[in-house]
Structure 1
């Protein structure tokens, strides 16, 4: 049976778009957007103010150039008529302004007068306390297709995030919807916005491959609806000691590949030129820069729609910094390093497209909670509807027919630093064995040509966050002790 990802990627492809993709992949580092005649210069003058006083040293950009405000908070930015927005990099210590919908407001449309001049004023409020300690929620792939999906998102995810935000109310908070907010039906963006309003914290948005105008045949036209709701598709902001960047890695041509175009890379270079070397930089993008799903599935190389094809250029720009790349797209959990960067592929809010309560690798429907203290990050995956210390599912002996004498623990948040001990009737037995396999519940729910009924293209996916051990025949109680890289201990019990 054709896989879910292959099915979605290739639906609607034409010979022309395939040939265009081949040209891109043949030379992925070649700039694709030459300057066209008829582009007019635009001069944008304005200021960043707080309580009527200018705020100096704030980065201002149109997505091409980056300038900083002077000592009086004013700026003078030379742009061109093809740019839609002017935006600021929110400085540390200032609140994130919000649209009436609750989404972050850090941008303004560029509206030049007949003489080519435009103005932009940004008013920001100073926080009552330091944001050196802050937290954020990463919601990957809400991916609502219809009213039923919207209802689950609003009924399950939204109140869960709101409750989690209240637990962390002593910190400055924000959220990031990390792409595939929609499942092609962009008319539901207002429903998402209403959910953001109910979660009561400002949200930044990342463009996903299902957030584009599918009838568009150019990358530039594909994000029009997204931009109308949320502003630019790439930008940056600061919280405390951390510099955050949102990138648009969806290159759309009737289908899509993971790709960062030259104007965006040039902007990122200019943006990072204002960031002190050695600082922590966190990048949000929808498609992972790199993941190893292809290895787990027995393929020789990753699919060009599941990684960034020109990721080496991104890695090069991030070299001077302590960098993280946070993404979604894969509907599974993975933590790895590539190109000197720590990469987190987060499980999906919708799990397996709202067909159940888990993803194809057994990761529960949920989102990630990151807490920041100074320049350091800690993180946990938050299962929707469960306490945050719920970090494993334990399957009984025989759940995996390939290993009929062993029980399994699926620990979806486990990176290479985790250790998992097991005890039999109170006696310590040692470390569990980490292996590649398939989550038994995912197999039960998704395997077969007629499962799941709503989206029969969903399949269980191989994962390497499964831990195995063989208990004795007389064992009555099995307990687990999983320790993460921060020393936090999570326990579970079988029997």
Structure 2
């Protein structure tokens, strides 16, 4: 059925308009709870071709359209493909689709209700027969006949044009232990932050395959006390579903739509499920991505035709000056997976054409790396994998709350350090919007809020140490020595150098986590004039440079020896022995060794070659960072030059030459 065949009295003006009408009630405090649900009516239906209802100002906050409450004009409502605007009485009508979510797009200046966990309640799921087969995590039960009306309550808010959201890369607990890590890191830090964000925007992989963890995870994250908008990721699916259209059914029951949009201030957020699973059903995937047919039930990054139509329809009803924020799970393009088809998004040229001329931003997760890519950036592999060579607007792969899948040794709070494969710490992004402008700053978990980089030194001894551990790690596990060739205790202090270290080429490294192609990184040694540091990846069409010479020495020293692998006790409980991470089988106690990712490549490492003529003694390197899209930062590295390397441990030989009197 076409939109033009809908009842004229309920049709909304499809031309671009001025948005939702002014509030009829006093705006509410944006931090105050608004716990309610949508108003679903099941009276007699006039026909089965359209679904209609009212978007209304919920004056008494009970979620019901009561006598005396008024509709709100100019609000977007969607069936996951078509988008219409409410008329002057707040009424809308949409064509019925056999499997759809019907939802209101939260208008700027208004709030949709949430449940007690602060999960937004703004949608109705329509799948009359439910999931076609029994699924491991329940799927979606039959929703039955279409309601006679779906009314959407909203209330005015004082949030204004300026706001902050905490952008969360993969939260991804695979167990209840790891849900506890979420509580003790992300949630604790946001609750204690100087100001509370206006929302949480979680970019997929909310959990790690065990969908039974979704309710507890939602409740734990709800302790922050702000609406939590979620993206579905490849670990949030029903992996036993036979078709892509059914693989989000448990998600739809436990959270809500997998494609939707909402507005805040002068920004429209378009949330997209860009994980095609199982991939291959779209004929283009079988042709362009043959791996979809080679493996049983794999996934691929793609935007499907209905999603492109939904995006186009949202944009048609949106002021072209509004900031368009795409929120998805699989990166549109990436550094870490720049030549990988499954881990980037196909048909980007179509998306870029839709948003051309508008201010835009892409926020994604998936790779557990922090990749801040500026307009004009390019990497080898992008064209073949995604259809584009360069990006026209900023793309941010936002790291992960879980870091390296909750791996690594424990920090002072008892949470795994979990340094990521690009060298960045686990954490979240502080997304501050002012009008249609924004800044992006990374808040490293467990560290001071203003810390923005690691500083270290790459020495010949460090590179030799790392290369030998890499070789051991890359060898077949059943053929290598169970004990690594070196541990971190074998590595000489990299911040104490000798003339031989300088002659063999040593350099300062600055891993600037949010650094990009516009970032300026300067170093001043011993008060001298600041000098520019050199970025190790230009993002000008080259491939990924990998190895000890391209690594972050700070991160690798913490990644290549993990003592947590050796933990054991006499408790008799096999679930407390050795090491387990994510969905992996528990490993028995083993010698400390590298497990997980290694930061031997990164898009945000800068280096400065140390002069071979540095004088003996103590030196101070002050590194300053200036960024176009975020806070300036500064850090200091103190290092030494000595004629020879002193004995690293207590000198008993000298002590024992003398007797205490």
Mapped to 2, the partners of 1:114 and 1:348 lie a distance apart of 39
Give the structure 1 partner of residue 463 of structure 2. Answer: 401
Which residue of the partner structure matches residue 86 of structure 1? 102
Within 1, Cα distance between the matches of 2:266 and 2:624?
A: 34
What CA distance in whole angstroms lies between the structure 1 residues aligned with 2:560 and 2:243?
Answer: 36
1:56 matches 2:73: yes
- Alignment partner, residue 494 of structure 1: 637
**Structure 2 gap segments, 5+ residues each:** 1-46, 60-68, 129-142, 279-296, 376-389, 409-416, 465-503, 538-549, 566-578, 582-594, 639-661
Q: CA deviation at 1:41?
A: 4.2
Q: Gaps spanning 5+ residues in structure 1: where?
A: 1-39, 296-301
Pair 1:242 & 2:267 matched: yes
Equivalent of 2:238, from 213, 216, 224? 213
Counterparts of 2:580 and 2:438, CA distance in 1: 38
- Kept after mapping to 2: 8 A contact 1:312/1:339: no
Give yes or no for contact 1:43–1:116 (8 Å, CA) kept in 2: no
SS at match of 1:125: strand
- The within-5 A match list for 1:197-208 is 197-208=222-233
CA contact (8 A) 1:396 1:494 kept: no
Aligned to 1:168: 195
Aligned residues: 444
Q: Give the structure 1 partner of residue 66 of structure 2.
A: none
Distance change (3 Å), C-alpha of 1:394 and 1:116? closer
Q: 1:99 aligns with which of 109, 115, 121?
A: 115
Q: Tell me the CA shift for residue 371 of structure 1.
A: 0.6
Q: Which has the higher contact order (CA 8 A, sep 6+)?
A: 1
Deviation at 1:311, TM superposition (A): 1.5
Question: 1: CA distance between counterparts of 2:248 and 2:126?
Answer: 17
Larger Rg over CA atoms: 2
CA distance in 2, matches of 1:428, 1:400: 28
Task: Specify the SS of the correspondent of 2:604.
Answer: strand
Q: Name the CA shift for 1:57/1:365 in 2 (closer, same or farther; >3 Å).
A: same
Q: Distance in 1 between matches of 2:274 and 2:624?
A: 38
Q: 1:267 and 1:289 mapped to 2: Cα distance?
A: 18
- Residues 140-185 of structure 1 show CA distances to partners (whole Å, capped at 9, x for unaligned) of 1011111221111111111112223xx235xx70111100111111
Q: How many Å separate the matches in 2 of 1:251 and 1:115? A: 28
Distance 2:272 2:630 in 1: 32
Matched, 1:340 2:388: no
2:53 is aligned, of 46, 53, 56, to: 46
> 2-side partners of 1:487 and 1:138: how far apart?
15
Q: Which residue of 2 aligns with 1:22?
A: none
Question: Which residue of 157, 170, 184 corresponds with 1:155?
Answer: 184
**Alignment partners' CA distance in 1, 2:309 and 2:353:** 12
CA offsets 1:172-224 (integer angstroms, 9 cap, x no match): 70111100111111111012111222111101010101111122231112111
Partner of 2:85: 68
* Match of residue 533, structure 2, among 427, 432, 436: 432
Q: Deviations over 1:288-343 (max 9, x none)?
A: 11113245xxxxxx211211011111111111311111001111111223442211
CA contact (8 A) 1:418 1:484 kept: yes
Mapped to 2, the partners of 1:400 and 1:422 lie a distance apart of 22
CA deviations on 1:412-457 (whole Å, 9 max, x unpaired) are 1111121111121222241112115222244344459999754545
- TM-score normalised by L of structure 1: 0.84
TM-score, normalised by the number of residues in structure 2: 0.64
Note if contact 1:380-1:388 (Cα within 8 Å) is conserved in structure 2.
no
CA-to-aligned-CA distance 1:379-423 (integer Å, 9 cap, x gap): 101111223211011113528528851121111111112111112
- How well do the aligned residues superpose, as a CA RMSD in angstroms? 2.4
1:14-35 per-residue CA deviation (whole Å, 9 max, x = no partner) reads xxxxxxxxxxxxxxxxxxxxxx
Distance 2:230 2:171 in 1: 12
Displacement of 1:473 in angstroms is 4.0
| TM superposition shift of 1:360 | 1.2
> Retained in 2: the 8 A contact 1:360–1:446?
no
Rounded Cα–Cα distance in structure 1 between residues aligned with 2:150 and 2:615: 73
Give the Cα–Cα distance (whole angstroms) in 1 for the partners of residues 433 and 535 of structure 2. Answer: 29
Aligned residue number for residue 482 of structure 1: 625
Mean Cα displacement is larger for which, 74-83 or 255-264? 74-83
Structure number with the higher strand fraction is 1
Q: Give the match for residue 420 of structure 2.
A: 359
Three-state SS of the structure 2 residue aligned to 1:152 is: helix
In the alignment, does 2:206 pair up with 1:181?
yes
What is the rounded CA distance, in whole Å, between the counterparts of 2:630 and 2:309 in structure 1?
A: 40
SS in 2 for 1:104: coil
Post-superposition CA distance 1:65-124 (Å, at most 9, x none) = 2111100111122212322x2101111111242122211222123488998553111111
1:145 paired with 2:145, answer no
| Deviation of the 1:345 alpha carbon | 0.9
Aligned with 1:187: secondary structure? helix
* Residue number in structure 2 paired with 1:271: 314
**Matched residue, 2:152:** 122
* Partner Cα separation in structure 1 for residue 206 and residue 159 of structure 2: 31
Contact 1:278 1:320 in 2 (8 A): no
Q: 1:438 to 1:114 in 2, by over 3 A?
A: closer
